Structure 1
Amino acid sequence: MRFDGPFRRRTFLRGLGTTIALPWLESRASATELAGQSIPRMGMFYFGTGMNMRQFYPEGFGRQAKLSRILEPLEKHRDQFTVLSGTYLEHGGGHDGAYPFATGIARGEKQIASPDQLAAAVHGSQTRFPSLQLSVKRGTGFGSQALATISWNQQGVPLAAENDPKTIFNRLFKADSADDQLAKADDFRQRRSVLDAVLEDARDIQPKISRDDRRQLDQYLHAIREVEIGLSREIDWSDRPKPQPKLDHLGDYENAVSPEGNGKFLYDDYAKLMYDLIALAFQTDSTRVVTYVVRTELAGGVYPEFGVSKGYHELTHHGNDPSNLEQLAKVDTIYMKHWSYFLDRLASIREGQGTLLDQTMLGFSSGMGIGHSKAILPTVLSGGRGLGINHQTHLQLSENTPLSTLWQTMADRMGVDTDGPGNQETFQDSPGIINELIT
């Protein structure tokens, strides 16, 4: 087999009825890649019930700011993150903050497409999964305060999240058996048949209904078309082999225990499995967009190995008790140790002239600050230097700067037209991207 000219990033060997993706090789990289341009990725992360903001923000501003106790585990990544002081969520506070977190829309009101889905619309056609929704809790949790997802589609419908590392790993990387392929083909046929029948019935009744009913039907048909597109994607990708990543020194996905599963559950193992999965999904270009609810509101948030006496929610009602505040800071520091592990993984994966971390933007925050407030949020942007992010360790924004400015900045770096007609001419309640973060 003869190849002329530089190889593209996703080069394939074809033969004997199989297709095998080659890894990234510098000697076979295109001139564009060697010039530093690469695939952008983004992740949005939700830490429910806030953090101990009295021990979160660094001391001072700029690149030399002294990191706080909670953020100290990130010291070795100082040039790869920026803490944003002054972020605000107008409809946040209390325990409904997960609803407006990614959209700015309050609970109980019609939602809009979240930034991850805007980015998925741009990049999703090039990956097996347009986006991944992950959470410590399976499903959506819609209607409750413990919302399990921060991802909303174009119709404002919440997208269900998965919390089982084994299930996620198999979706991403496990090859289908012959029986699985036959079952999948049968499933495709059945779903196509159902969709065709629904659309035929809709066309029959459309001339016979009122204007209001027709508007309702149009919304329904739009949702059906989304399902059609998703089914077509599945069919297109069904005969393409899944990537087989190296799992050296990574956890055991075959025997992983989910938070809702049986057996001994250790959060430290779970956190690393989930962060490794995100890194692998990005590395293999299985997706370029991820959302992850690391901690939901109200329930959970602490685990026996943390060695604290109360649940996370109870600790946030600290009453200025030094013991409660101390334990709250201890738990937050544990979460930041896991975040540091995540940054380590991304920084260890070489891509182009830099690392996967350089090509990936990761934004985390919460629906509340300390005292269940809607301001003084624990907001951090990590990674993305190769995408034009100019990190400063600690950046002071204007008081009550909408959290949406962070999402708009990330979406802009992903190539999303955040001021287009599909986005109501403005991006949520954002006054614009954070220019100080852009090189």
Structure 2
Amino acid sequence: MDTSPIQHFRSDRMPHSLSRRTVLRGLGTAVALPLLDVMSPSRLLSAASPNQSAPLRMGFFYVPNGMHMPDWTPKKDGFKFDLPPTLAKLADHQDSINILSGLTLDGARAHGDGGGDHARSVAAFLTGSHPRKTNGADIQNGISIDQMTAKYVGDRTRFASLELGLEASAQAGNCDSGYSCAYASNMSWRGPTNPMSKEVDPGSLFDRLFAGQAVKETRQARSVREKYRKSILDFVLEDANQLHKTLPAVDQRKLDEYLYSVRDVEKRVGGAEKLRLNEDGVPDYPRPSGVPKELSKHAELMMDMVTLAYQTDSTRILSFMFTNAGSNRSYPEIGVSEGHHELSHHGKSEHKQEHIAKINRYHIERFAYLLDRMKRTPEGNGSLLDNCMLVYGSGISDGDRHNHDDLPILMAGAAGNRIKTGRHLKYKNGTPLCNLYVWMMQQMGAKADQFGDSSGVLDQLV
């Protein structure tokens, strides 16, 4: 296990090899580096395992209210299946994904507790547990897969895990038929009574990843940067230039592309802080400071920083909620004025099902944007996406039925050549989703043979 401290690049040393923990430093600022060839020279000597020195990452991406399943499920199993309408935007990534049909989330079922499927589906999605029905302080759930895995590998990175989303978490209140809002708005749980709140502000996340790295940004540094409107990168420019001179050409290109990405995200985050005002001079949309009004722009900024967080090895474990459970957000940007939750109770209405499918495609497009970014980010002899295993889906299948079997589950990334991708894998209906999580934990190096309601380790992935 690599527990070495963060190291400052020293320009007086030619980096025949460079620590993975090396950072560029400036006034109160430290910026992590992407994986460079000089950080792992042994990889250049072994073509048999091209990504052996690249870290493996896991991520979980949740969408609410189930799915229009006829537009989600491929008609053919195995390789070379036709992408159904909802997944059509993933055409460029079909060889990097698997669709997993038949997986079930038993913890989200009522088990005598009556209504509340939306809150239960989120609370159970990563825990595999059945949450106690309460809207008081006596919440009770299980530890989630991301936090369980972080116990084994979280100390290898600056952040053991990141919990992100597009809608803020709540820790109290009645959100779904007697279930606490803590269940409905958090899918990551550090312990049975400890939900992990999401970061939804792109600016705050950027500061966590860069301005506060290694050392907290000092008041002087923040004051200088704000006064002269300087970039984070302006303070580490001298370090960056010195390092650039000592790198081989392939690493120079990687460094240039990475620093360009950081500066681009920083500029867009700065632009997002400018609230649009209506004719009365007040904000026309209630949102946390720094969050763009347009959901698509908000999502893109967050996905850019997911990429940077993985690329710099700031974390290897991440969860992301597009919206909270039972979200009734409308999507006027795609011509859907009705609320999402309302539409999910479609009663077989063709109009409502058509609009649900539109929302499903909209969410997938945001995920496709992330896969685009990660696939274009080189790492080792492949891409960043090659060294990830990302789970996308929902704890509800058909929103009208509120069923929790045959869930819409997609897995992206080759997990460092551990997965055969490009397939539709159809499992026996009722197979625990937690079987997948046991497999993922094992790939991350965790000593686990059981999690939640697992009945074994999911097969067919390799």
Quickly name the TM-score band, shorter chain normalised.
Answer: 0.7 to 0.9
* Residue 154 (structure 1) shift: 3.8
Partner residue in 2 for 1:229:
none
The answer to whether the aligner puts 1:150 opposite 2:178 as a matched pair is no
Distance (Å, rounded) in 2 between the aligned partners of 1:373 and 1:15: 53
Please state whether the residue corresponding to 1:363 is helix, strand or coil.
strand
Matched residue pairs, number? 375
Distance (Å, rounded) in 2 between the aligned partners of 1:268 and 1:13: 32
Partner residue in 1 for 2:332:
304
Partner residue in 2 for 1:178:
218
Partner residue in 1 for 2:288:
261
Contact 2:150 2:160 in 1 (8 A): yes
Partner residue in 1 for 2:461:
437
Aligned with 1:30 (options 38, 41, 52): 41
The answer to whether the aligner puts 1:106 opposite 2:130 as a matched pair is yes
Please state whether the residue corresponding to 1:384 is helix, strand or coil.
coil
The answer to whether the aligner puts 1:89 opposite 2:105 as a matched pair is yes
The answer to whether the aligner puts 1:368 opposite 2:405 as a matched pair is no
Contact 2:389 2:413 in 1 (8 A): yes
Partner residue in 1 for 2:346:
318
Distance (Å, rounded) in 2 between the aligned partners of 1:269 and 1:13: 29
Aligned with 1:351 (options 379, 382, 396): 379
* Residue 133 (structure 1) shift: 0.7
Distance (Å, rounded) in 1 between the aligned partners of 2:140 and 2:379: 40
CA deviation profile, 1:306-339 (whole Å, cap 9, x unmatched)? 2113111111111111111111111111111111
Partner residue in 2 for 1:246:
260
Alignment of 1:395-410 (within 5 A): 395-410=425-440
In structure 2, the gaps of 5 or more residues are: 1-11, 110-116, 133-138, 223-238, 240-254, 274-284
The answer to whether the aligner puts 1:55 opposite 2:71 as a matched pair is yes
Query: Aligned letter for 2:101?
Result: S
Distance (Å, rounded) in 2 between the aligned partners of 1:69 and 1:280: 30
CA deviation profile, 1:209-238 (whole Å, cap 9, x unmatched)? xxxxxxxxxxxxxxxxxxxxxxxxxxxxxx
In structure 1, the gaps of 5 or more residues are: 183-240, 420-425
Partner residue in 1 for 2:298:
270
CA deviation profile, 1:241-280 (whole Å, cap 9, x unmatched)? 9x99433654711232697237971111111111111111
Partner residue in 2 for 1:294:
322
Distance (Å, rounded) in 2 between the aligned partners of 1:128 and 1:43: 16
Contact 1:97 1:367 in 2 (8 A): yes
Specify whether residues 265 and 300 from structure 1 end up closer, same or farther in structure 2 by C-alpha distance, changes over 3 A only: farther
Partner residue in 2 for 1:207:
none
Distance (Å, rounded) in 2 between the aligned partners of 1:358 and 1:178: 37
Query: Aligned letter for 1:253?
Result: V
Partner residue in 1 for 2:419:
389
Distance (Å, rounded) in 1 between the aligned partners of 2:405 and 2:299: 27
Specify whether residues 8 and 160 from structure 1 end up closer, same or farther in structure 2 by C-alpha distance, changes over 3 A only: same
CA deviation profile, 1:22-78 (whole Å, cap 9, x unmatched)? 543335533147642110111111111111112111121111111100001111111
Determine what percentage of the aligned residue pairs are the same residue.
Answer: 34
Partner residue in 2 for 1:337:
365
Distance (Å, rounded) in 1 between the aligned partners of 2:62 and 2:404: 15
With the length of structure 2 as denominator, give the TM-score of the two structures: 0.74
* Residue 17 (structure 1) shift: 11
Contact 1:169 1:277 in 2 (8 A): yes
Query: Aligned letter for 1:73?
Result: K
The answer to whether the aligner puts 1:159 opposite 2:202 as a matched pair is no
* Residue 403 (structure 1) shift: 1.2
With the length of structure 1 as denominator, give the TM-score of the two structures: 0.77
Contact 1:137 1:259 in 2 (8 A): no
Contact 2:28 2:218 in 1 (8 A): no
Partner residue in 1 for 2:153:
123
Please state whether the residue corresponding to 2:460 is helix, strand or coil.
helix
